[in-house]
Chain A
Amino acid sequence: MGRILKVDLTAGTLKSELISEDIAKKYLGGKGYAVYILYNYLKEYESKGISPSDINPLGPENVLIFATGPGTGVPGFPCSGRYHVMALRSPLTGSIGSANSGGEWGPFLKFSGYDMIVVEGASEDPVYLSIVNGVAELRSAGDLWGKNVFDTCRILSRRVGGKNTSVACIGPAGENLVRMACIVNDEHRAAGRTGLGAVMGSKKLKAIVVSGDEKVPVANPDEFREVSRRCLETMRKNRVTGEGLPTYGTSILINVINTAGGLPYKNWQTGVNPYADKISGETLAETYLTGRRACWGCTIGCGRVTSVPSGPFQIIGTEGPEYESIWALGGSTGVKDLDAIVKANHYCDEFGMDPISLGSTIAAAMELYERGYIPKEDLQGLDLRFGNSAALVEAVWRTAYRVGFGKYLALGSKKLCEIYGHPELSMSVKGLEMPAYDPRAMKGIGLEYATANRGGCHVTGYTVSAEILGIPEKIDPLTPDGKAKWAKLFQDFTCVVNSTVNCLFSTFALGVKDYADLLSAVTGWSLSDGEILRIGERIYNLERVIINRLGFNGKDDTLPRRLLEEPMPEGPAKGHVVELDKMKEEYYKLRGWVNGVPTADKLKELEIEL
């Protein structure tokens, strides 16, 4: 079994512990194991009289976990270049913090000698963590504090040198405790959502650099070789993983989702964007795309390498944008200049911010301003009207440095809209801004947004796959019927993916049986499809227990009023709202929950010991 590095930043100490096989058999690794650890911290705090809701997300008592799983870094394990990050509390939402990233850092953490890092406490002065060939050290980051992501990655990579070296860090946004700050690794890959960059910033932890060449063991190499060959062949032949994503990246979805009438435009006032094609994957391929990039061990290569050679939004050599960042920075804000979106996305990487939350917060501010709810003088010169490309790009760096109106944007849309007296204009759930699918046009994702433990999230259970793409089968997006079972199934399976840790995109081609076979061969355990999904369900429920303790329950499993009460004004979903109550009732029944809380029977059935 592997090792966990426990870091106490207050005391400045490091401790190595072995991964428990018993816990790994129940929670796998990655997200699952991290959820188990976080729950035990919660119990420990409660035993010391610290109430969960008193845990300050930006205080030393918050816990930050970087986790890999049994699949990460195993050559031949499909798309295994990923890692998962969790925090007990998100500074953006107050609920659990959770995010996932690609690149090389995840496998390289394993090669450096550790599977997981658990960080508690806070340092007085800026530090970075170095793990090289099994040796872990905390070092001063005084010379790095204030530097952007790109400089930090390059300086530390050069300083450490060696083989398989990777850096995960925060930029100025994390240092400035911007609520949607993220953790960026390999310069352009991010553990984006729920403000985990601000958690790292609050701990004065600037970066973690890993390096090494430790081999990752496989229990049954012959069996694994056969299963791996089969799975990689399946992925190669699949039109999405073998052709669509490599050619267009995720931005192919812009026109797909817009055609379905579900691409939110101007802060979700409608789901039809008249300029969608101008900011589509097709247009990106014709204009600014210069190449593609793959994460470690990935055969898909959906990463976009781009360049805007001239003009006011010139940016030479960057990566992205992806579907979500194009939508949040473009579609939701009404900006139709793709070059401005590329630049704004570049700044998000440079300063370390989640483009989904940032773009949605800017869009909310635009609607507030256009409706007359924000006085002009508050904007301090920033003309935040829908479609203003220059204002978009300016707003990004102002937010990162909390300058002028940026100090309001830095709080996220929920707080921003509350401050200006119109909380209903924050298009968020549990404080996390929703991504690029209007659930009035695809009802299942509405149930998913409402019930995802970390807040308004699509990848927790991507029902869009069935509703719009027809994978694994086509279901009608405009009916609420039958959506509960899909939401639950996708959520449980995604927990498995995030605990393995590999890339969710492999599931456009691979199924539960493939994961059962791959994990059985790697671990040496005999895992069936049913057991795999049970592990996923267990993880989802324990995570739900944590958010219940943090104060979230059925009343928070909801959607913004716009989606529940304002009929879609146009397009194929015209007239539709989200019939959430109906879907939720069925979902809770399937989950074995009452008012968003798992019952004692359900926890017993899943062998979750509280």
Chain B
Amino acid sequence: MSNVSVKVLLFATFRKKYGSKELTIECDGTLKGLIESASRILGGEFYSDVYNSERGMVRDDLIFTVNGRNIKDLKGDIELKDGDVVAIFPPLAGGINSSKLIEV
């Protein structure tokens, strides 16, 4: 797979923790590949902050979007393209939580 260039935007406490708002990442076009490449720049903790290795997927307590679409709303495997914009919000902005607000 050829490399693609993706813009990654960080928000809230991720900005302070990683000292960055925005960075451009070269990756293999997969979400895992993107996060691995980003962690080589931002530090190893970024990987575990964003990726759940056990389940082999992005952590489900984050808001993680590709071109504004939350990945939880997208079907199938996500293939990143050149110029895509990924936005990552830490769990304190929402994402899954243990609230059993309303049983529907």
**Are A474 and B72 closer than 8 Å at their CB atoms?**
yes
Which A318-346 residues have a C-beta within 8 angstroms of B? none
In B57-104, the 8 Å CB interface with A consists of 61, 63, 65, 67-70, 72-73, 87, 89-104
C-alpha gap A247/B69 in the complex (Å): 25
Question: What is the distance, in angstroms, from B74's C-beta to the closest C-beta of chain A?
Answer: 9
User: Do B12 and A472 touch (CB < 8 A)?
Assistant: no
Query: Would you call B15 an interface residue if the criterion is a C-beta within 8 Å of the partner chain's C-beta atoms?
Result: yes
Contacts A472-B102, A512-B101 known; A239 to B68 CB distance under 8 Å? Answer: no
Q: Are B101 and A239 in contact (CB under 8 A)?
A: no
Q: Are B102 and A489 in contact (CB under 8 A)?
A: yes
Q: How far is the CA of A281 from the CA of B15 in the complex (A)?
A: 12
Stretch touching chain B among A91-99, A143-151, A248-256: A248-256
Known: A282-B11, A571-B68. Is A510-B99 also a contact (CB below 8 A)? Answer: yes
A252 to B13, CA, bound (A): 10
Measured CA separation A277–B103 after assembly (Å): 36
Give chain A's interface secondary structure class: helix
A561 CB–B CB distance under 8 Å: no
Contact B94 A256 (CB under 8 A): yes
Determine the distance from Cα of A518 to Cα of B90 in the docked complex, in whole angstroms: 31
Residues of chain B within 8 A (CB-CB) of A490 are 102
Whether A472 contacts B100 in the complex (CB less than 8 A), given A259-B68, A260-B65, A260-B68, comes out as: yes
Interface size grouping (class) on chain B = 20 to 34
Q: B102 and A493: CB pair below 8 A?
A: yes
Decide: A476 near B73, CB < 8 A? Known: A256-B63, A261-B68, A471-B101.
yes
Distance of B6 from chain A, by nearest CB (Å):
15
Q: Are B12 and A252 in contact (CB under 8 A)?
A: yes
Once the chains are docked, how many angstroms separate the CA of A248 from the CA of B98? Answer: 21
Further 18 A-B residue pairs, CB within 8 A, beyond A252-B92, A478-B73: A240-B97, A244-B92, A244-B93, A244-B94, A252-B12, A252-B93, A256-B89, A259-B87, A282-B11, A468-B63, A469-B94, A471-B101, A472-B101, A472-B102, A510-B99, A511-B101, A512-B103, A571-B68
Tell me the minimal C-beta distance from A540 to chain B in angstroms.
Answer: 15
Find chain A residues with CB under 8 A from B65 CB.
Answer: 259-260, 572
Q: CB distance A512 to B94 under 8 Å? A: no
A477 is an interface residue with CB less than 8 A from chain B: yes
Please, which residue of chain A has its CB at the minimum distance from the CB of B14?
A: A282
The residues of B that contact A493 with a CB separation of less than 8 Å are: 101-102
- For B87, the closest partner residue in chain A by CB is A259
The CA of A478 and the CA of B72, in the complex, are separated in Å by: 12
Q: Given the complex of chains A and B, what is the CA–CA distance between A511 and B102 in angstroms?
A: 6
| Interchain CB contact (< 8 A) of A509 among B21, B61, B68, B97 | B97
Q: Which residue of chain B has its CB nearest to the CB of A476?
A: B73
- Whether B100 contacts A513 by the Cβ 8 Å rule is yes
Shortest CB-to-CB span from A578 to chain B, Å, is: 17
Q: A248-B12, A282-B15 are in contact. Are A470 and B101 (CB under 8 A)?
A: no
Determine if A474 and B73 form an interchain contact, defined as CB atoms under 8 angstroms apart.
yes
Q: Is A243 an interface residue (CB 8 A)?
A: yes
Q: Interface 1/0s, chain A 464-490, versus B by CB < 8 A? A: 010011111110111000000110011
A570 to chain B, nearest CB (A): 10
Q: How large is the interface on A (under 10, 10 to 19, 20 to 34, 35 or more residues)?
A: 35 or more
A509 to chain B, nearest CB (A): 5
**In the complex, A374→B17 CA distance in Å?**
49
How many whole Å from B66's CB to the nearest CB in chain A? Answer: 9
User: Separation in Å of the A223 CB from the closest CB of chain B?
Assistant: 20
Q: With an 8 A cutoff between CB atoms, is A529 at the interface?
A: yes
Which of chain B's residues have a CB closer than 8 A to the CB of A477? 73
Closest Cβ of chain A to B44, distance in Å, is 22
Which of chain A's residues have a CB closer than 8 A to the CB of B91? 239, 243-244
* B97 partner residues in chain A, CB cutoff 8 A: 238-240, 471-472, 508-509
- Point out the residues of chain B lying under 8 angstroms from A511, CB to CB: 99-103
A507 interfacial by beta-carbon distance below 8 Å: yes
- How far, in Å, is B97 (CB) from chain A's closest CB? 6
Which A residues touch B15, using CB under 8 A?
282
CA distance A169 to B94 in the complex (A): 35
Q: 1/0 contact trace for B36-73 toward A, CB 8 Å?
A: 00000000000000000000000001010101111011
**Interfacial residues of chain A within 549-572, with CB under 8 A of chain B in the complex:** 571-572
| A509 touching B99 in the complex, CB below 8 Å, given contacts A259-B68, A281-B12, A476-B73 | yes
Closest CB pairs A-B (n = 4): A572-B68, A469-B94, A244-B92, A472-B101
CB pair A529 B13 closer than 8 Å: no
Q: Return the contact of A470 from the options B12, B21, B68, B95 (Cβ within 8 A).
A: B95
Chain A contacts with B in 503-543, Cβ cutoff 8 A: 507-513, 529
Assuming the A-B contacts A252-B12, A282-B15, are A471 and B99 also in contact, with contact meaning beta carbons closer than 8 angstroms in the complex? yes
Do residues B69 and A572 form an inter-chain contact, with CB atoms below 8 A?
yes
Convert A228-264 into 0s and 1s, putting 1 for each residue whose CB lies closer than 8 angstroms to a CB of B: 0000001001111001100110001101100111000
A161 to B65, CA, bound (A): 53
Q: How far is the CA of A573 from the CA of B73 in the complex (A)?
A: 13
Q: Which residues of B lie under 8 Å from residue A259 when comparing CB positions?
A: 9, 65, 68, 87, 89
Q: Which residues of A have CB within 8 Å of B13?
A: 247
Q: Determine the distance from Cα of A253 to Cα of B100 in the docked complex, in whole angstroms.
A: 22
